[in-house]
Amino acid sequence: MFTATQIVDALVELKVTHVIWIPDTTTGSWEPALESCSHFQLIRVCREGEAWALAGGLLIGGSLPIVLIQNTGFFESGDSMRNIVFDLGIPVFAIIGARNWLTESSSDTARRFTLPLVQAWDIDFEFITGPEEQEKLFLHFRKCRRTNQAGILLLAE
């Protein structure tokens, strides 16, 4: 997957102002780079449900945050996401790690339910399975900004 430098450079190029996150075993190694970047603020939340509302407040206030969480947290935070994205219509963009996606033999139920649940929420999403597909992040983020709609980028882990 992305190196820390690759993801930070991408977020800087996209002019992201805040990264709201809870780490997982893949994205956790990005912490020093995310924390030290002067172009955006890293905000640690305790539970993923906070992340969507926090992003909503930032967007109402004119900032450009992204939510960076794992699929398990996406499952957990569904009602908060529903409220911010659908009730309030705030175009939050989230990068969501898809745990064990690259392990085909995995019996991880988080892997099993990722696509069905993302599809059920009817949020425009793209799936990146390797760093060679980095361009998808730029294209999808910019498309969501242009159309003022929420978006999800799934990162295969």
Partner 1 sequence: MTQTNPENTTPHKHGIGVHDALDTLVQMRGERHIVVTNQVSSRLWPTLSDHPLDLNYNPSAMGGAIPLGLGLALAQPDYEIIVLSGDGSLLMNLGCLVTVVDSGVTNLSIVLLDNGQYEVTGGQKTPGYNGANYAGLARASGFPCVHHFTEAATWQNEAANSLSGTGPRFVWLTIRPQPGDYGKSVGRPIQKQMARLRQQFRADAQ
Asked whether 99 and 71 are in contact (CB, 8 A), the reply is yes
Number of chain positions touching partner 1 (CB under 8 A): 32
Single out the residue of 50, 17, 19 nearest to residue 4, CA to CA: 19
In 45-90 the beta strands, taken as DSSP E runs, fall at: 65-70
Asked whether 157 and 102 are in contact (CB, 8 A), the reply is yes
Residue 83 or 149: the one with the smaller Cβ distance to partner 1 is: 83
Which of 35, 79, 122, 135 is the binder for partner 1 (CB under 8 A)? 79
DSSP summary character for residue 38: S
According to the binding rule CB under 8 A, does residue 28 interact with partner 1? no
H-helix or E-strand spanning residue 24 = none
Q: Which of residues 88-147 bind partner 1 (CB under 8 A)?
A: 88-89
Which of 1, 16, 37, 51 is the binder for partner 1 (CB under 8 A)? 51
Query: Contact residues for partner 1 (CB under 8 A)?
Result: 17-18, 41, 43-47, 49-63, 65, 79-80, 82-84, 87-89
